[in-house]
Amino acid sequence: AQSVTQLGSHVSVSEGALVLLRCNYSSSVPPYLFWYVQYPNQGLQLLLKYTSAATLVKGINGFEAEFKKSETSFHLTKPSAHMSDAAEYFCAVSEMGRRALTFGSGTRLQVQP
Amino acid sequence: EAGVVQSPRYKIIEKKQPVAFWCNPISGHNTLYWYLQNLGQGPELLIRYENEEAVDDSQLPKDRFSAERLKGVDSTLKIQPAELGDSAVYLCASSPPEGEQYFGPGTRLTVT
């Protein structure tokens, strides 16, 4: 069985500061890993995905994530936060061959001016 | 390219009433998913279709929930009868073969 743990349900940063959202996964087979962003009253939008190619994955809006097998982690980072980054972020895992995603409980990012 | 379309966006019903949600996936996407998102939680899969066949419905509460995907395109998710605990956002997503999932805006259901 696969699962995702997102540490910190709320993260607050100042505009221009580093963003770090944590995600740890559990999977019995090599996983595919994803980060999604959800703005209020909207669906989920894919930020980036890891599918066993390069361990450092670059996504949209300046976000990137690094797959670390030894730590079973896939943390999301952005060097400099922008006010428009305020949203809910979800980490998700998919086992190869099973198309559905298992999501973490989400981290709400606040960006202070 | 149009995204995943869901309707209605919001629905308020009394408990024990039936309710239905509709999803139109992106053209050419053969896989369709319904997810349930409770407040403050991540989405959870209810059912996955490959074309018109439901291939993963282990999390669908079949005593009150049903779904169908007509001709492998549009899909409808139904709840009958609704309970207070069904209040949540119901998300539809679609994907092409071997591709990523695209999500619709969801239907927010409130059961009173």
Q: Pick from B3, B42, B48: which is nearest to A100 by CB?
A: B48
Kindly determine whether residue B43 and residue A90, on different chains, have CB atoms separated by under 8 Å.
yes
In the predicted structure, residue A25 carries a pLDDT above the cut 60:
yes
Contacts A–B by Cβ distance under 8 A: 52
Mean pLDDT for B56-79 is 93
Which among B110, B106, B111 has a CA at the least distance from the CA of B46? B106
Residue B55 CB neighbours (<10 A)? 13
CA dihedral sign, ordered B6, B11, B15, B18: negative
Contacts of B51 in chain A (CB under 8 A): none
In the predicted structure, residue B64 carries a pLDDT above the cut 90:
yes
Q: Which of B29, B37, B48, B50 to mutate to test the interface with A (most CBs of A within 10 A)?
A: B37
Question: Would you call the peptide bond into B8 cis, given omega within 30 degrees of 0 as the criterion?
Answer: yes
Contacts with B89 (C-beta within 8 Å, 6 or more apart), sequence order: B36, B37, B38, B106, B107, B108, B109
Query: What pLDDT score does A98 carry?
Result: 63
Is any Cβ of chain A less than 8 angstroms from the Cβ of B105? Answer: yes
Which among B109, B110, B99 has a CA at the least distance from the CA of B33? B99
Q: Which of A44, A98, A108 to mutate to test the interface with B (most CBs of B within 10 A)?
A: A44
Q: Which of residues 30-59 of B touch A (CB under 8 A)?
A: 31, 33, 40-45, 48, 56
Quickly tell me which residue has 């053969």 as its tokens.
B30
Query: What pLDDT score does A96 carry?
Result: 63
For residue B54, the number of C-alpha atoms closer than 13 Å in the C-beta half-sphere is 17
In the predicted structure, residue A85 carries a pLDDT above the cut 80:
yes
Kindly determine whether residue A103 and residue B33, on different chains, have CB atoms separated by under 8 Å.
no
The predicted-structure confidence for A43-65, as pLDDT tens digits, reads as follows 899 999 998 778 899 999 999 99
Which among A90, A109, A105 has a CA at the least distance from the CA of A47? A90
